[in-house]
Copies of this chain bind each other. A is one copy, B any other.
């Protein structure tokens, strides 16, 4: 689609996220590493407590990053609107995510004035072996 303009850069989004989640342990806070119009890349460094039985990254960790990736994508394009809230998140788990840094790539399916719908792809091994795909909808305060 015709892509919307960015309002913030990488440092700006990361600063906003740190402000949004003041209680989060620093090591659990994912970092935006790349932004382009309509697209954001975010990484959560691998750390303890992220695995589930079977030795793969747990579903809640994947869902949490999917949600955060969409939030970062939206903030990058609408600016300092911390009150955007998730209205739905649909997660498809595609294969076990082997231990490693967890990557998410988020892009807009639609950025409207009141609603943003984001496609998020997640992986640890490589972008060719997706661990999960999510569709995340946010309500944007008016």
**Could you tell me the distance between the alpha carbons of A24 and B131 in the complex, rounded to whole angstroms?**
22
* Contact with A135, one of B68, B92, B130 (Cβ below 8 angstroms): B92
Number of chain A residues whose Cβ lies closer than 8 Å to a Cβ of chain B: 44
User: Are the CB atoms of B89 and A63 closer together than 8 Å?
Assistant: yes
User: Are the CB atoms of B89 and A88 closer together than 8 Å?
Assistant: no
Stretch from A4-12, A52-60, A98-106 that touches the partner: A52-60
Mark out the residues of chain A between 83 and 113 whose CB falls within 8 Å of any chain B CB in the assembled complex: 83, 85-96, 109-110
User: Are the CB atoms of B86 and A93 closer together than 8 Å?
Assistant: yes
**Could you tell me the distance between the alpha carbons of A89 and B51 in the complex, rounded to whole angstroms?**
18
Q: CB within 8 Å of B: which residues of A?
A: 1-2, 20-21, 23-25, 48-49, 51-54, 59-60, 63-64, 67-68, 82-83, 85-96, 109-110, 115, 117, 119, 128-130, 133, 135, 137
